[in-house]
């Protein structure tokens, strides 16, 4: 990818005000893309803009709850008023705490809300982004899933199902949008530390034990930059022959066999 590939390309990142989304917003802004951050947390959104500004980087913030169809429609209308096309949509917003209690205690409303944000949200964003994506030269959608789509800890029903669904939605979209030249891929992160990428009131310094690090063949827990580096590649035309795929980014955690 050339150093100027993302210049004049517009990128919409959902859940971009904190965590992995913010890390990707910083990386795309550094690559000279026109970054639009959307998030349901307006305070975090404003702080994200300040954080970017402090690094001499630019972005625009538009608030939106991706689970609400009318809000998503409104978001993409606003993006369309500002930019002639949308080059990249990154569906990153998610309820990221996977634990919702044991099966007999699980509140169905919580289960439904997680699916509405983590699975229906990406579908809605893709649908309303479609007219703008069609206008781009090399449009791409990237869905942020999770290694939990492929393996589980106990009591993570909704999160695991939502991410498994998003993996499947990725290939369904890739095949369905091929005629529009839109490539659709997924990144499946493992354990990514986001403490320093939270808004001030929720920010914390990471404190990983020797064991935390040792369960990763890479020898450490991940950071948002690890996901951003792959996102920059997958959303560029250098990845033009890659669609309907997922890339696991977990420092090798899920291929490590454990006998004790
Ligand atoms: N951090 C990890 O270890 C990890 C691992 C695997 C997958 N993921 C996935 O990566 C994505 C980002 O996770 P993170 O760890 O950075 O989380 P985070 O909580 O740090 O950030 C998520 C952002 O999404 C926003 N958001 C939540 N619900 C929203 C909604 N309905 N509409 C709009 N914005 C909303 C939040 O306000 C927040 O700013 C999520 O999809 C998560 O499931 C994270």
Q: What is the pLDDT of residues 77-132, one digit of tens each?
A: 999 999 999 999 999 999 999 999 999 999 999 999 999 999 999 999 999 999 99
Q: Helix, strand or coil for residue 194? A: coil
Ligand 1 in contact with 146 (CB < 6 A)? yes
Distance 15 CA to ligand 1 centre (A): 6
Cβ contacts of 172-176, under 8 Å, gap ≥ 24:
173/126, 173/141, 174/243, 174/244, 175/244
Q: Residue 55: CB partners within 8 Å, gap ≥ 6?
A: 26, 30
CA atoms of 98 and 158, how far apart (whole Å): 7
Distance 96 CA to ligand 1 centre (A): 5
Q: Helix, strand or coil for residue 247? A: strand
User: pLDDT tens digit string along 193-231?
Assistant: 999 999 999 999 999 999 999 999 999 999 999 999 999
Known catalytic residue at 159:
yes
Please name the residue whose Cα sits nearest to atom 32 of ligand 1: 65
Q: What pTM was computed for the model? A: 0.98
The residues pairing with 90 across neighbouring beta strands, listed in sequence order, are: 13, 142
CA atoms of 235 and 99, how far apart (whole Å): 31
The CB density around residue 3, as the number of other CB atoms within 10 Å, is 8
Indicate which atom in ligand 1 lies nearest the CA of residue 98.
Answer: 43
247 Rama class: left (phi>0) / alpha (psi -120 to 50) / beta: beta
Q: What is the predicted pLDDT for the residue at 207?
A: 96
Indicate which atom in ligand 1 lies nearest the CA of residue 18.
Answer: 39
Distance 68 CA to ligand 1 centre (A): 16
Q: Residue 56: CB partners within 8 Å, gap ≥ 6?
A: none
Supply the CATH classification number for the domain 10-255. 3.40.50.720
Q: What is the predicted pLDDT for the residue at 199?
A: 98
Please name the residue whose Cα sits nearest to atom 31 of ligand 1: 65
Q: What does pLDDT average to over the chain?
A: 97
**Pairing relationship of beta strands 10-14 and 88-91 according to DSSP bridges:** parallel
């Amino acid at each position: 990818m050339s150093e100027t590939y993302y210049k004049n390309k517009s990128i919409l990142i959902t859940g971009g005000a904190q965590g992995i989304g913010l890390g990707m917003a910083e990386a795309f802004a550094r690559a000279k893309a026109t970054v639009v951050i959307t998030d349901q947390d307006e305070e975090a959104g404003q702080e994200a803009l300040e954080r970017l500004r402090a690094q001499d980087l630019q972005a625009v913030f538009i608030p939106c709850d991706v689970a609400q169809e009318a809000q998503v429609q409104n978001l993409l209308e606003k993006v369309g008023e500002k930019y002639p096309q949308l080059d990249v949509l990154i569906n990153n917003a998610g309820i990221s705490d996977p634990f919702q209690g044991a099966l007999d205690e699980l509140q169905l409303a919580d289960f439904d809300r997680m699916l509405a944000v983590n699975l229906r949200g990406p579908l809605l964003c893709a649908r309303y982004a479609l007219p703008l994506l069609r206008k781009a030269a090399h449009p791409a959608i990237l869905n942020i899933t999770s290694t939990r789509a492929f393996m589980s800890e106990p009591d993570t029903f909704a999160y695991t199902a939502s991410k498994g669904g998003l993996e499947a939605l990725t290939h369904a979209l890739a095949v369905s949008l091929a005629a529009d030249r839109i490539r659709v891929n997924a990144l499946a992160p493992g354990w990514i530390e986001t403490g320093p990428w939270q808004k001030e009131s929720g920010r914390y310094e990471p404190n990983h034990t020797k064991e935390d690090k040792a369960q990763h063949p890479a020898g450490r827990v991940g950071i948002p930059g690890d996901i951003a580096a792959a996102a920059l590649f997958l959303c560029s035309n250098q990845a033009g022959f890659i669609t309907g795929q997922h890339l696991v980014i977990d420092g090798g955690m899920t291929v490590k066999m454990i006998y004790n």
